[in-house]
Chains A and B, each alone.
Chain A
């Protein structure tokens, strides 16, 4: 297989990035900007390493919220989309609601969930679920709906059950879209959990950030941002890897065709 060209990073972009970091470092070290406004990159890194234990506990909480919300959303999305796909009535009932619900910026509901469910993990998990549910459900639905009608008919002529049609056609067909949906959901899920923590919480990386903000520990705020960013990248990478493994046939498409 041909190696995909990396379009995000190239020699010049890396060079430019290093330049920015160096400039930042120099400006900050020279003392022209106070440390609580812009700590030097090396200081931020140092703070992450020294205070790793401090970060770790809150980070673990945020990861738990994100992953539980994410997985519950996947399960709910599966149930909803299969029901909507199988029963026209369910589709007619839910689809308009599903679409209009997207005009509500979900994060604005956070204070409400804090009032209803307190300061624990639950309100954050609910926010993550709500954020992830839509992109996953919609991607599954469009996959199910666009599956090849003729392939389905073929399976029907072989006396396949509804379950078989999902297993052998609709699910594999919707996988690529499903993974795109997952990646959108993953990107927003960590953000959702963090903002939920800002609105009200006892633990979590968002709460950590608030504490750091109150004590003007700007290096820790930056440290948290760095960690959240790395976490997001790892999350997406993990989904990418699972995507590759679950669709082995994709590796061969557009490849050479074997002659007899």
Chain B
């Protein structure tokens, strides 16, 4: 398997405040890797660096074998907030990344429309974000990221703001979607359950300044369904992670 993302010994501080002490990680092709760690430990900062919006003080980011340290435009990056533009319809929001790549409006829309069904947005093309429920907005934001780059995606707590039931639905949906598409995904979450359920691998980070304290391979058989949450293997992994997080 190819390495899609390689992060090598990154360090970052803001105004003398160490945020990331030392992080290295690898995302292999078609895998989903979760990053879990205490609030404020520097997870979002790590994504800002991988996406190229920010530069590390030290270390490098390689994507598909090319040095992308401090360069934007290669991976898609979905934020903690949906950040949909209130003034654009869902269709225009979602096709925007294609438009920015220089395509005509109509063909950009056509490309985006193909995915409305799978992303559960069919029928809502011409609605504005303010008319949609939280779950739908999140899926729209996800589709927008997907339209920018479908092979490597960074998802920063995509389900953080959702209620428990919607969140569980979205986890099942995402798992199905990932099986359908060929994407390599880095996934930040606060939920240990979510991380185990979705991932092939989990990086556990320390509190700020962040460093990797554990890398766990999740060998639970895929595709997984709700019954996984109560299986013995699942609980064992969960206990291990919780003990590392000192909870």
Q: How large is the interface on B (under 10, 10 to 19, 20 to 34, 35 or more residues)?
A: 20 to 34
Main secondary structure of the interface of B (DSSP, over half): loop
B191 at the interface (CB under 8 A from A): no
Which chain A residues lie closer than 8 Å to B130 at the CB level? Answer: 249, 252-255, 257
Complex CA–CA separation, A252 to B96 (angstroms):
21
B179 at the interface (CB under 8 A from A): no
Find A258's partner among B85, B97, B132 (CB 8 Å cutoff): B132
Find B73's partner among A151, A158, A173, A248 (CB 8 Å cutoff): A158
B53 at the interface (CB under 8 A from A): yes
Asked if A160 contacts B100 (CB within 8 A), the reply is yes
Which chain B residues lie closer than 8 Å to A88 at the CB level? Answer: none
Q: For residues 132 through 176 of chain A, which have their beta carbon under 8 Å from a beta carbon of chain B?
A: 148, 150-151, 153-160, 164, 168-169, 172-173, 175
Find B53's partner among A156, A175, A256 (CB 8 Å cutoff): A156
Complex CA–CA separation, A157 to B127 (angstroms):
25
B51 at the interface (CB under 8 A from A): yes
Find the A residue at minimum CB distance from B129.
A249
Complex CA–CA separation, A257 to B73 (angstroms):
33
B120 at the interface (CB under 8 A from A): yes
Find B135's partner among A150, A173, A260 (CB 8 Å cutoff): A260
Given contacts A157-B53, A158-B73, A158-B97, contact A151 B136 (CB under 8 A): no
A247 at the interface (CB under 8 A from B): yes
Complex CA–CA separation, A23 to B235 (angstroms):
87
Asked if B133 contacts A257 (CB within 8 A), the reply is yes
Asked if A159 contacts B85 (CB within 8 A), the reply is no
Complex CA–CA separation, A84 to B86 (angstroms):
25
Given contacts A252-B130, A255-B131, A257-B131, contact A157 B83 (CB under 8 A): no
Which chain B residues lie closer than 8 Å to A151 at the CB level? Answer: 83, 85
Find the A residue at minimum CB distance from B75.
A157
Asked if A153 contacts B53 (CB within 8 A), the reply is yes
Given contacts A247-B87, A249-B86, A253-B86, contact A159 B73 (CB under 8 A): yes
Q: Mark B117-157, 1 if CB is under 8 A from A, else 0.
A: 00010001001101111011000000000001000000000
Contacts between the two chains (Cβ within 8 Å), count: 73
Asked if A157 contacts B132 (CB within 8 A), the reply is no
Q: Taking each of A249, A254, A259, which has the highest tally of chain B beta carbons within 10 Å of its own beta carbon?
A: A249
Q: Mark A216-249, 1 if CB is under 8 A from B, else 0.
A: 0000000000000000000000000000000111
A94 CB to closest chain B CB (Å) equals 28
B105 CB to closest chain A CB (Å) equals 12
Q: For residues 68 through 105 of chain B, which have their beta carbon under 8 Å from a beta carbon of chain A?
A: 72-73, 76-77, 79, 81, 83, 85-88, 96-97, 100-101
B59 at the interface (CB under 8 A from A): no
Find the A residue at minimum CB distance from B166.
A260
Find the A residue at minimum CB distance from B130.
A253
Complex CA–CA separation, A249 to B124 (angstroms):
14
B47 CB to closest chain A CB (Å) equals 10
Find B85's partner among A153, A172, A256 (CB 8 Å cutoff): A172
Which chain B residues lie closer than 8 Å to A247 at the CB level? Answer: 87
Which chain A residues lie closer than 8 Å to B209 at the CB level? Answer: none
Complex CA–CA separation, A70 to B184 (angstroms):
54
Complex CA–CA separation, A154 to B53 (angstroms):
9
Complex CA–CA separation, A196 to B130 (angstroms):
46
B52 at the interface (CB under 8 A from A): yes
Find A158's partner among B79, B100, B128 (CB 8 Å cutoff): B100
Q: List 10 A-B contacts (CB under 8 A).
A: A154-B79, A155-B100, A156-B72, A157-B73, A158-B76, A168-B88, A247-B87, A249-B128, A258-B131, A258-B133
Chain A to chain B: the 10 pairs with minimum beta-carbon distance, closest first: A172-B87, A159-B73, A249-B128, A253-B130, A157-B72, A252-B128, A249-B87, A158-B97, A252-B131, A158-B100
11 further contact pairs, Cβ within 8 A, besides A150-B79, A172-B88, A254-B130: A154-B77, A157-B52, A157-B73, A158-B73, A168-B96, A249-B87, A252-B127, A252-B131, A253-B86, A253-B128, A255-B131
